[in-house]
Structure 1
Amino acid sequence: MSEKAIEPVTIAELLTGSSLKVREDYQQRSQLFRIGDLAHEFGLSLRALRFYEDKGLLNPRRAGVTRLYDREDHTRLRLILFGRQIGFTLAETKQLIDLWKEGASDLGQVDDLRATLSGKLAELEKKKGEIDRSIEELKALLKRLVTPSA
C-alpha cells in the first residue's frame, strides 16, 4: 500500500484552511458583512468582534455607524479563531495574520511560522500529558471511594 504524498500549500492556504466550521449559507453570500451577520456566522458576540477590532486584528469599514466587514476581515476572523483554538496569544495571532497578509514568501517567515507552530505543539502535548495524568488520578480516587451507609 503506497502512502499518499502530501501536497505543499502556501502559508495563506495553510492558515485559512483550518478545521473551523463556518455556516455554509454565509460562504457564498455578499462580499460585505454587517457585524451581526459575522457574529452569527462564527457564533461570536458583538462584543467579541468589537474587542478584536479594538486590538487591531479586524479593521471594518464604516457606513455611518454601521461596521461593514469585507472578505479580508472574514478571513482575518477565521485566523483569529484558529489562533484562539490552538491557544495562541493575541500577539501570536497578529503574527499569523501578518504572515497571511504579506503572503509569507520569505524563507525566514516560513521558518518563524514553523518554529512558532512547533513550540505551540510541544506546549499542547505537555498540557495533554498533564491532563491525562490528572484523569488517571481521578479515576483511581473514584475507584477507592466508599459509598456511606444510609
Structure 2
Amino acid sequence: MAETWIEIVDTVVKVGLGALISGVFSYLTLLKTKKHEFDLLDKQRRKEDTFEKKDVYLSYLSEAQALVQTYITSSCYCDTPEYKSFLKTYNRLQITAPDPIRAVAHRLLCAVNEFIVINKEGLERDLRKGMRQKIDESLGELQLLAKLDLE
C-alpha cells in the first residue's frame, strides 16, 4: 500500500507540474499574441490619423490658394460656398492640429481674409505685393510644419 500511495503522489505531481508548465506557457503565448494585435491596431490607427491630418492640411492649403486666385482682381463678400468651406476646414484644423500649426493657420486665415475682402481697384502694387507676400510666407511655413508633423 505504501508503494501505491507513493506512485499516486508521484503521478499527481508529474501531471500537475506538466499542466502548470503548459498553463504558464499558454498564458505567455496569449499575452504575446494580444500585444501583437494591439500593436497592429495602434499602427493602423496612427496611419488613419496621419491620412486624416494630411487631408485637412492639403484641403486648407488648397482652399487658401484657390480663394486668393479667385479674388486676385476682385473682392469677396465672404458668403460664397468656397469661403464657407475654407472656414470649415480651418476650424477642423484648429481642433485637430498641434499648437504651432494652429498659430500659422490662423496667420494664413488673417492674411487670406485681408487680401480677398479688400477692394483691388486702385490698390497700390506694393501694397498688393506685400499682402501676397504675407500669404506666401504663411503658406510656406504651414507646408513645412505640416510636413514635419506627418513624418
- What TM-score do the two structures reach when normalised by structure 1? 0.31
- What TM-score do the two structures reach when normalised by structure 2? 0.30
Q: Which has the higher contact order (CA 8 A, sep 6+)?
A: 2
The structure whose residues are more often strand, as a share, is 1
The structure whose residues are more often helix, as a share, is 2
- Higher alpha-carbon Rg: 2
